[in-house]
Amino acid sequence: MTERKRIDSWLSDMDGVLVHEGLPVPGADEFIKRLDESGKPFRVLTNNSIYTPRDLSVRLRAAGLEVPPESIWTSALATAQFLHDQRPGGSAYVIGEAGLTTALHEVGYILTDLDPDYVVLGETRTYSFTQLTRAIRLIESGARFIATNPDPVGPSTEGSLPACGAVAAMITKATGVEPYFVGKPNPRMMRSALNAIEGHSETTAMIGDRMDTDIVSGMEAGLFTILVLTGVTQRDQVDRYPYRPSLVVESVADLIDLI
């Protein structure tokens, strides 16, 4: 564990850190309030590309957490920003929901299946065989392949659902083309959120519950990484990884006094 530096800005994962199975993690409401009162910039991050920040803000409010839309950063926003930086005013064939299509529209992208610059794969609850077939043929014709995140499965009340990473693997198997994943664990997700709050890596903390996404991407982006034990990774699993978080705490309740 490394010595803690002054923390001037904060990034936090959402699921497993602030909420768990739709319920707020104990202390999360006070943590968010303290951040808001401090005036320190922060962003809540999620690899989920289905929802817009406004949608997620409403869902968090239903769980008792007041997080404004402008304080939420999704893999869809990071993907749209990446494409805008790479090829401004480009075009894309998109498989995804409003979170992704809205983000791409807002950076001036044209959504089309006629000779697009990119095929962009995001999360959706209704992956269509027709859409996937079209994506495969467009990639075979030269479209560049982008995916919002590599998560292979997502949760539901009935059990696991195939997610973006699993569907991307199917397209790769059919085309031989690997996608560029923008979301965690790509450190670009962290850097884009950092740029959004005009933060500096040496004085920004990243809070997460997963060693293999949150902590590794935070570390690679040069952030102070904090693992909370309210989600996926348990304390006895930390030493299995070749990298370590800067700090391990039980929950965000233990971080309130650090703000």
Annotated catalytic residues are: 13, 15
* Cα separations in angstroms, 230 against 6, 25, 166, 182, 253: 24, 7, 26, 25, 11
The values of phi and psi at residue 76, to 5°, are -65, -45
Token look-up 């978080």 returns 245
How do the residues of the chain divide into helix, strand and coil, expressed in percent and rounded to 5?
40, 20, 40
The rounded Cα 236 to chain-centroid distance in angstroms is 25
What's the CA dihedral at 77, 80, 86, 91 to 10 degrees? Answer: 180
Tokens, residue 138:
């467009």
- Per the CB < 8 A criterion, the answer to whether 174 and 136 are in contact is yes
> Measured in whole angstroms, how far is the alpha carbon of residue 180 from the centre of its chain?
14
Q: CA–CA distance from 194 to each of 61, 141, 181 (Å)?
A: 24, 36, 18
Three-state SS at 227:
strand
Q: What is the DSSP letter of 210?
A: -
